[in-house]
Amino acid sequence: MTISTALMINGRSLKGEAGTFAVINPATGQAFADCPAASKAQLDDAVTAATEAFKTWQHTPDDEIKAMLHKIADGIEANADELAEIVVNEQGKPLALAQMEVGGAVAWTRYAAELEIPVKVVEDSEARLAELHHKPVGVVGSITPWNWPLMIAVWHVMPALRTRNTVVIKPSSLTPFNTLRLVEIINEVVPAGVVNSVTGESGIGSGMSAHTGINKIVFTGSTPTGQSIMRSAADNLKRLTLELGGNDAGIVLEDADLDKVAPAIFQTAFLNMGQTCAALKRLYVHESQYDELCQRLAALAAEQKVGAGLEPGVTFGPVQNQNQLELVMELVDDARAGGAKILSGGERLAGEGYFYPPTIVADITDGTRLVDEEQFGPVLPVIRYSNIDDAVARANDNVNGLGGSVWGSDIQRAKEIAMRLECGTAWINNHAEVLPHCPFGGCKMSGFGVEFGEEGLLEYTAPQLVSINRG
């Protein structure tokens, strides 16, 4: 495996002027490579390069943009093995899941390539022709998290390119190498300066948020960081798309078929070791189904093979970083001290690496930190309820509003309940499923704006009405 250890600014590979920082493999807890750290001056250079490139890139014909995006997808596909191995080493997920991430990045890039930028005819009369067009905003700043480092970079960059914007991207300092390699692949296709990469442990992200040369920030990550970005973005009224934290609730109805829903609930709660913004993070189960479903989930947890992502047969990798592991341990210990019952897992595994087994916590309720706070890790609290109105109220009694789900056999009733949930996406008999053609975003403290589909594409544009007087 070759690790890309260079920034890309104006089509040139550069060392970081602020030195380097170590990147940790979460399966060992040890550094496996050093990453370049960009200086503030290099951030300025990247924004300048993107600004200059935008002057011509914004006029690129549609068919050329589409062809370039497909060529980028070809490049990702051609380097799939390398990219997947980088994901495993820096993020920790099992190889099969990393391969799925790479495959998803290819598919999402090809989907973005074929999206059309609509022109809406508002009026077509003898008096006037009024058309609503959508123009690129200019330089887009992308700040990505550590949980899906390749996929989320693709989610940010490809619609920006499709709408003829230029990009400066900063990955998480915990998982920078996939993004550096992705930007190298992109630069084999697009003109110099169209996509630039900068990295750093502190100062670069906040510098992007406040930079008056950046016209839009798209950010996926924590709510406190999103709030900070929003404050910093005020000086030049940057456009923002913020996909922030979630504490997604699922409600299991009394008519749910546990043979069907138990495996799906487990999968969607523990996707990527629970380190997914829209994973199912607290589960409300009707009292008639509660004990049986808890036991089924605990049995599924016990079947998982926990280990390093490149080891054969591993289905469950480590928590990505030490701080997140300590938060998970703290929340489980607090629940245990409050009388909750640990049905599986519940203790960090001995040895090196940040391993914590899939953990099911029963006999717990709202008011416990593990229920009220986003754990973002391999733990699922299961809460008993007897009245559906009470369950909905408790599901909604949270500052977050990213996703939610209802599980049951009566689809119409499940839909009626799902539409009462205060969240951006409500799934029925599923959770955490995001699709390239379905808009996805949150409400309340989970952010605003959407990604994916035509609606997500237009987040990277500014509307312009062209009104032609025919009188």
Structural domain contains residue 428: yes
DSSP for 333-387, please give it. Answer: HHHHHTT-EEEE--SPPSSSS-----EEEES--TTSHHHHS---SSEEEEEEES-
- Report which of 207, 200, 134, 137 is spatially closest to residue 167, judged by C-alpha positions: 137
Count CB-CB contacts under 10 A for residue 274: 25
CATH of the domain at 354: 3.40.309.10
Whether residue 169 contacts residue 183, with contact meaning beta carbons closer than 8 Å, is answered with yes
Q: Are residues 221 and 302 in the same domain?
A: no
Give phi and psi for 169, each to the nearest 5: -115, 135
Quick one: 451 and 394 in the same domain? Answer: no
Contacts 24+ apart (CB under 8 A), 81-86: 82/1, 82/2, 82/181, 83/150, 83/178, 83/181, 83/182, 85/1, 85/310, 86/1, 86/3, 86/177, 86/178, 86/181
- Distance CA(68)–CA(411), nearest Å, equals 43
Same domain for 237 and 308, yes or no, is no
CA diameter of the chain: 80
Q: 191 in helix, strand or coil?
A: coil
What the block records as the tokens of 300 is 């599924």
Residues 170 and 318 in one domain: no
Domain with 76 in it? 7-244+446-469
Q: How many domains does the chain have?
A: 2
Q: Tell me if 79 is assigned to some domain.
A: yes
The reply to whether 309 and 169 lie within a common domain is no
User: Could you tell me if residue 301 is left (phi over 0), alpha (psi between -120 and 50 degrees) or otherwise beta?
Assistant: alpha
Predicted pLDDT at 202: 86
DSSP string over 300-335: HHHT--BS-TTSTT--B---SSHHHHHHHHHHHHHH
306 and 430 share one domain = yes
DSSP string, 232-254: HGGGGT-EEEEE----EEEEE-T
Nearest to 260 by CA among 407, 380, 386: 407
Is residue 465 situated within a structural domain? yes
Q: Is residue 2 part of a domain?
A: no
Q: For residues 253 and 287, what is the distance between their CA atoms, to the nearest angstrom? A: 9
Q: How many CB atoms lie within 10 A of CB 126?
A: 7
Q: What is the pLDDT of residue 17?
A: 97
pLDDT at 1: 62
CATH number at residue 63: 3.40.605.10
- Is 350 within the bounds of a domain? yes
The pLDDT value given to residue 190? 98
The list of the chain residues with pLDDT below 70 reads: 1-2
Q: Which pLDDT score is estimated for 468? A: 98
Specify whether 134 is located in the same domain as 161: yes
Asked whether residue 172 falls in the same domain as residue 311, the answer is no
Q: What backbone torsions phi and psi does residue 49 show, to the nearest 5 degrees? A: -60, -45
Any domain includes 1: no
| SS3 per residue for 54-118 | HHHHCCCCHHHHHHHHHHHHHHHHHCHHHHHHHHHHHHCCCHHHHHHHHHHHHHHHHHHHHCCCC
Strands 120-124 and 128-136, how do they pair?
antiparallel
What's the whole-model pTM score? 0.97
Q: Is residue 200 classed exposed, middle or buried when 0-12, 13-18 and 19+ CB atoms within 10 A define those classes? A: buried
Residue 397 lies in a domain: yes
Does 335 map to a domain?
yes
CB–CB of 165/136 below 8 Å? Answer: yes
CA 416 → CA 163, 252, 256, 387, distances in Å? 37, 14, 15, 15
> Are 146 and 275 part of one and the same domain?
no
Q: Which residues contact 255 (CB under 8 A, 6 or more apart)?
A: 408, 409, 410
Please check whether residues 202 and 265 belong to one and the same domain: no
Condensed to tens digits (0 to 9), the pLDDT of residues 405-454 reads 999 999 999 999 999 999 999 999 999 999 999 999 999 999 999 999 99
Catalytic residue list: 243, 277
DSSP three-state, residue 131? strand
Residues 398 and 451 in one domain: no
Same domain, 182 and 261: no
What is the pLDDT, as a whole number, of residue 117? 97
141: its two tokens: 């700043």
How far apart CA 235 and CA 228 sit, in angstroms, is 13
Helix (H) or strand (E) holding 469: strand 461-469
DSSP state of 162: H
